[in-house]
Structure 1
Amino acid sequence: MSEYKIGGVRLNSRALLAPMAGISDRAYRELCVSCGAGYCVSEMVSSKALSFKDKKSEELMKTSDKERPCGIQIFGDEPSTMAQAALSAMKNNPDIIDINMGCPAPKISGSGSGCALMKNPKLCGEIVKAVVEVSPVPVTVKIRKGWDEDSINAIEVAGICEQAGASAVTIHGRTRRQYYKPPVDYDIIRQLKQSAGIPVIANGDIDSAEKAKHVLEITGADFVMVGRASLGNPWIFSQINSLLENPEKPLYYPSLDEKLDVMCAHIEKMVEYKGEYIALRQARKLVMGYFKGIRGAAKLRNEAGRIETLEDLYALKQKALSL
Structure 2
Amino acid sequence: MSLQIGPYPLPNNLVLAPMAGITDSVFRRLCYQNGAGYAVGEMLSAQTHLWDSKKSSTRFANLEDPEPRSVQLLGIDPQELAQAARLQVEQGAQIIDLNLGCPAKKVCNIAAGSALLGYPERVEQIFKAVTEAVDVPVTVKIRTGTDPLNRNAVQIAQLAEQQGLAAITIHGRTRADKFLGQAEYDSIKRVKQAVSLPIIANGDICDVEQAQFVLEYTLADGIMIGRGALGNPWIFKQIEAYLSNKQAVSPPDASQRYQVIRTHLDGLYQLYGELQGLRIARKHIGWYAQHIEQGDTLRRRFNSLQSADEQTLWLQQFFET
Q: State the TM-score, normalized to the length of structure 2.
A: 0.95
Asked if 1 retains the 8 angstrom alpha-carbon contact of 2:231 and 2:291, the reply is no
Asked if 2 retains the 8 angstrom alpha-carbon contact of 1:155 and 1:195, the reply is yes
Gaps of 5+ in 1: none
Deviation for aligned residue 1:282: 1.4
Structure 1 equivalent of residue 316 of structure 2 = 318
Q: RMSD in angstroms over aligned alpha carbons?
A: 1.6
What is the aligned residue count?
320
Asked if 1 retains the 8 angstrom alpha-carbon contact of 2:73 and 2:96, the reply is yes
Structure 1 equivalent of residue 75 of structure 2 = 76
Structure 2 equivalent of residue 298 of structure 1 = 296
1:207-263 CA-partner distances (Å, limit 9, x unpaired): 01221111101110000000111111111111111111111x221310022112210
The reply on whether 1:87 has 2:86 as its aligned counterpart is yes
Asked if 2 retains the 8 angstrom alpha-carbon contact of 1:284 and 1:307, the reply is no
Deviation for aligned residue 1:319: 4.5
Moved over 4 A (4+): none
Structure 2 equivalent of residue 224 of structure 1 = 223
Q: Which moved more, 1:108-117 or 1:67-76?
A: 67-76
SS of the equivalent of 2:263 reads helix
Deviation for aligned residue 1:308: 3.4
Q: Which moved more, 1:227-236 or 1:307-316?
A: 307-316
Asked if 2 retains the 8 angstrom alpha-carbon contact of 1:144 and 1:171, the reply is yes
**Which residue identity lines up with residue 93 of structure 2 in the other structure?**
P
The reply on whether 1:254 has 2:287 as its aligned counterpart is no
Q: Which moved more, 1:65-74 or 1:126-135?
A: 65-74
| 1:98-109 equivalent positions in 2, closer than 5 A | 98-109=97-108
Separation in 2 of the partners of 1:199 and 1:145?
Answer: 16
The alpha-carbon distance between structure 1 residues 119 and 4, as it changes in their structure 2 partners (threshold 3 A), is same
1:44-68 CA-partner distances (Å, limit 9, x unpaired): 00011x1454333233114133433
Gaps of 5+ in 2: none
Deviation for aligned residue 1:182: 0.7
Deviation for aligned residue 1:305: 2.9
The alpha-carbon distance between structure 1 residues 290 and 52, as it changes in their structure 2 partners (threshold 3 A), is closer
Deviation for aligned residue 1:12: 1.6
Structure 2 equivalent of residue 114 of structure 1 = 113
The alpha-carbon distance between structure 1 residues 188 and 269, as it changes in their structure 2 partners (threshold 3 A), is same
**Which residue identity lines up with residue 264 of structure 2 in the other structure?**
H
Structure 2 equivalent of residue 273 of structure 1 = 271
Separation in 1 of the partners of 2:306 and 2:59?
Answer: 22
SS of the equivalent of 1:175 reads coil
Structure 2 equivalent of residue 34 of structure 1 = 33
| 1:1-323 equivalent positions in 2, closer than 5 A | 3-48=2-47, 50-56=48-54, 57-247=56-246, 249-321=247-319
Asked if 2 retains the 8 angstrom alpha-carbon contact of 1:44 and 1:100, the reply is yes
SS of the equivalent of 1:174 reads coil
**Which residue identity lines up with residue 131 of structure 1 in the other structure?**
V
Separation in 2 of the partners of 1:306 and 1:96?
Answer: 40
Deviation for aligned residue 1:8: 1.1
**Which residue identity lines up with residue 191 of structure 1 in the other structure?**
R
Asked if 1 retains the 8 angstrom alpha-carbon contact of 2:169 and 2:199, the reply is yes
Separation in 2 of the partners of 1:208 and 1:7?
Answer: 28
Identical aligned pairs, as a percentage? 39
The alpha-carbon distance between structure 1 residues 140 and 62, as it changes in their structure 2 partners (threshold 3 A), is closer
SS of the equivalent of 1:128 reads helix
1:74-102 CA-partner distances (Å, limit 9, x unpaired): 01000000001101211331221000001
Q: Which moved more, 1:233-242 or 1:309-318?
A: 309-318
SS of the equivalent of 1:241 reads helix
SS of the equivalent of 1:239 reads helix
**Which residue identity lines up with residue 226 of structure 1 in the other structure?**
I
SS of the equivalent of 2:291 reads coil
SS of the equivalent of 1:45 reads strand
**Which residue identity lines up with residue 273 of structure 1 in the other structure?**
L
Asked if 2 retains the 8 angstrom alpha-carbon contact of 1:200 and 1:223, the reply is yes
**Which residue identity lines up with residue 278 of structure 1 in the other structure?**
Q
Separation in 1 of the partners of 2:57 and 2:312?
Answer: 31
